């Protein structure tokens, strides 16, 4: 199994990346620097109950995130065609990014050994990062429990 990578540190620059997105354009973290706060949420898999609930939670509060000048980006290891179907089906107004080789997930320390019904495998541990306009990590929510999470992120941004 791969060595465990650590989460980035609050206050330090977020690892930059460029990934294919459901907009059809590649998305880089640096394109938002100086412009918007970024909620970068990593989730295990399209169309699973928890991931769907989390994505729809962000969808339902998108207007509130817009008011605090924040963009939402979802990342998983699923391919872009899976993301496109997931985004369309649930009418998600934000981009989903395809990290198929897990390079970005590893850079953010969220690609970990998981255990499902006694079977070990590598995958994304649900984690959300708030990256401020300077490109630094403002907050990290590791091992996210979906219930109430989106509101918690929004509340943090409103206090900022």
| Residue 51 appears among annotated catalytic residues | yes
Strands 70-76 and 37-42 turn out to be: parallel
Catalytic residue among 19, 38, 40, 51: 51
CA distance 29 to 56: 23
Complete DSSP assignment for 103-143: HHHHHTT-EEEEEETTEEEEEEPPEEEEE-TTSBEEEEE-S
Residues in Cβ contact with 73 at an 8 Å cutoff, skipping those fewer than 6 apart: 21, 27, 38, 39, 40, 41, 94, 95, 96, 97
Active site residues: 51
């Amino acid at each position: 199994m791969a060595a465990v990578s650590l989460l980035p540190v609050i206050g330090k620059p977020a690892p930059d990346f460029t990934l294919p997105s459901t907009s059809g354009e590649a998305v880089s973290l640096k394109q938002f620097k100086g412009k918007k706060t970024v909620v970068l949420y990593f989730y295990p898999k399209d169309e699973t109950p928890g991931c769907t609930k989390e994505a729809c939670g962000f969808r339902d509060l998108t207007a509130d995130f817009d008011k605090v000048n924040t963009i939402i980006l979802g990342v998983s290891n699923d391919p872009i065609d899976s993301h496109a179907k997931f985004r369309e089906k649930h009418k998600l107004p934000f981009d989903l990014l395809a990290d198929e080789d897990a390079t970005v997930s590893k850079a953010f320390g969220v690609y970990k050994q998981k255990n499902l019904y006694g079977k070990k495998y590598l995958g994304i541990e649900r984690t959300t990062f708030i990256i401020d306009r300077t490109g630094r990590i403002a907050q990290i929510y590791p091992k996210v429990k979906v219930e109430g999470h989106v509101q918690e992120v929004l509340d943090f941004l409103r206090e900022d």
